[in-house]
Amino acid sequence: MCKVKSDPDFLIEAVDRIHNSVWSAIQEMAHNAEDLEWDMSIIGDISDYIEEKLKAHNIRTCYPFRLDDETICCDLFDRCAYCSREKIGGILDA
């Protein structure tokens, strides 16, 4: 079992990177990109869809999340029971 990541900024920063990347892709693909406003309902749906498709193609993902009061994500040197990454030489292969 992993040691719980005590720094909440880790979770926030990781998810922000994912959501910003998805938002950039939306803006690149949309005909009316200049009219779009940040919309988490769209960004979240697309983020989830991308994760599902990657997993369907046997591509491992790391989309950190928090479930209730339990922190699911751990620091780079540990992993929890939910993590599919392999530990290689003290770091995780994402």
In this model, does residue 45 exceed pLDDT 70?
Answer: yes
Q: What is the mean pLDDT of the chain?
A: 74
Residue 92 dihedral angles phi and psi, to the nearest 5°: -95, 140
**Alpha carbon distance 83, 69 (integer Å):** 18
pTM of the model: 0.66
β-pairing, 70-71 with 86-88?
A: unpaired
